[in-house]
């Protein structure tokens, strides 16, 4: 575990899956945590379970595809904790549509939430990020391989996150470090459908012969935000159990 005492982490997509595990991990390391999610009710349940007093944890309704929502959640973090030290963008969507049948709406929604949302959030947070802070974005192995069939839009959105991360690292250096994590197949509500459809076929591609746990991504995110990674910026760590070695 790392020591984030006195630090503030703003984590999006924090009501479930990797975002929830990351919020739990950072709280356990002593951080103040703002849980941002489109499902405010679920985020509040997580917040209350972590910190019934509400002193160190709060929940906020956040729509990743709306720039105004990014500004609002950043303002909330500043109001509660005077600034932000660690920014983690876990919010995202993952649906299936064959490219030939994909609607304009499906394409734009995926890009808006998975890619535009990262840009909106970081842009809003830059003025209030404290010196020596850290940003971690979430891409996916799909960004490196193009995704599985029917997920070209998802792969494209996450490929954009990889490029955006590197650009941000250049723009924000040396004051802020920016890195990315590319998870493989992690057992979350978002991936349940894929695991159900492909099951053993996917499992055979994973060298460790199991699916990842959200906590195993959370610990890598925490590492990248910690002083242990103080000379790491502009990098992507792939966490896939050996399914992809880029």
- 70-125 pLDDT, tens digit per residue, is 999 999 999 999 999 999 999 999 988 899 999 999 999 999 999 999 999 999 99
Does a structural domain hold residue 1?
no
Does a structural domain hold residue 245?
no
Predicted pLDDT at 201: 76
77 CB contacts (<8 Å, ≥6 apart)? 8, 10, 34, 83, 84, 128
Predicted pLDDT at 203: 86
Does a structural domain hold residue 246?
no
232's tokens? 């790491």
Report percent pLDDT > 90 for the chain. Answer: 87
Mean pLDDT of the chain: 94
Conformational region of residue 102, where left means phi above 0, alpha means psi within -120 to 50, and beta covers everything else: beta
82 CB contacts (<8 Å, ≥6 apart)? 8
DSSP class of 199: H
Predicted pLDDT at 199: 58
User: d(Cα 89, Cα 134) in Å, to the nearest integer?
Assistant: 12
Task: Record the pTM.
Answer: 0.95
* Residues spanned by the domain of 102: 8-238
Mean pLDDT of 180-197: 79
Does a structural domain hold residue 2?
no
Phi, psi at residue 152, to the nearest 5°?
-60, -40
Predicted pLDDT at 191: 66
Does a structural domain hold residue 149?
yes
Active-site residue list: 154
DSSP 84-95: EEEEEE------
Q: How many other CB atoms are there within 10 angstroms of residue 211's CB atom? A: 18
79 CB contacts (<8 Å, ≥6 apart)? none
Does a structural domain hold residue 3?
no
Structural domains of the chain, count: 1
Mean pLDDT of 33-40: 98
User: d(Cα 187, Cα 212) in Å, to the nearest integer?
Assistant: 6
Q: Is the pLDDT of residue 64 over 70?
A: yes
CATH code (residue 205)? 3.40.50.720
Does a structural domain hold residue 153?
yes
Predicted pLDDT at 96: 85
DSSP 95-158: ----GGG--HHHHHHHHIIIIIHHHHHHHHHGGGEEEEEEEEEE--THHHH--STT-HHHHHHH
- 202-228 pLDDT, tens digit per residue, is 788 899 999 999 999 999 999 999 999
Q: Is the pLDDT of residue 200 over 80?
A: no
Could you tell me whether strands 176-183 and 8-12 are parallel, antiparallel, or unpaired per DSSP bridges? Answer: unpaired
DSSP class of 229: G
Does a structural domain hold residue 174?
yes
Q: How many other CB atoms are there within 10 angstroms of residue 136's CB atom? A: 26
User: d(Cα 192, Cα 87) in Å, to the nearest integer?
Assistant: 26
Do residues 211 and 186 lie in contact, with contact meaning Cβ atoms separated by under 8 Å? yes
User: d(Cα 47, Cα 107) in Å, to the nearest integer?
Assistant: 32
Closest to 151 measured CA to CA, from 91, 96, 93, 92: 96
């Amino acid at each position: 575990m790392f020591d984030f005492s006195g630090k503030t982490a703003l984590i999006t997509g924090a009501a479930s899956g990797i975002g929830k595990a990351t919020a739990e991990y950072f709280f356990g390391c002593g951080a103040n945590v703002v849980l941002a999610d489109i499902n405010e009710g679920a985020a509040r349940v997580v917040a209350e379970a972590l910190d019934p007093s509400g002193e160190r944890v709060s929940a906020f309704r956040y729509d990743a595809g709306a720039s105004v929502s990014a500004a609002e959640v950043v303002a909330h973090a500043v109001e509660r904790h005077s600034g932000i030290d660690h920014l983690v963008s876990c919010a995202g969507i993952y649906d299936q549509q064959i490219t030939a049948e994909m609607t304009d709406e499906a394409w734009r929604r995926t890009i808006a939430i998975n890619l535009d949302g990262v840009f909106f959030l970081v842009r809003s947070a830059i003025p209030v990020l404290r010196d020596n802070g850290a940003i971690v974005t979430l891409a996916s192995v799909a960004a490196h391989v193009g995704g599985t069939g029917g997920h070209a839009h998802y792969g494209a959105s996450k490929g954009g996150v990889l490029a955006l991360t590197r650009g941000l690292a250049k723009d924000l250096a040396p004051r802020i470090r920016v890195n990315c994590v590319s998870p493989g197949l992690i057992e979350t509500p978002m991936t349940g459908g894929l695991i159900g459809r492909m099951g053993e076929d996917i499992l055979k591609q994973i060298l460790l012969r199991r699916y990842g746990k959200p906590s195993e991504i959370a610990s890598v995110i925490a590492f990248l935000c910690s002083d242990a990674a103080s000379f790491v910026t502009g990098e992507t760590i792939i966490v896939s159990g050996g399914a992809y070695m880029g």
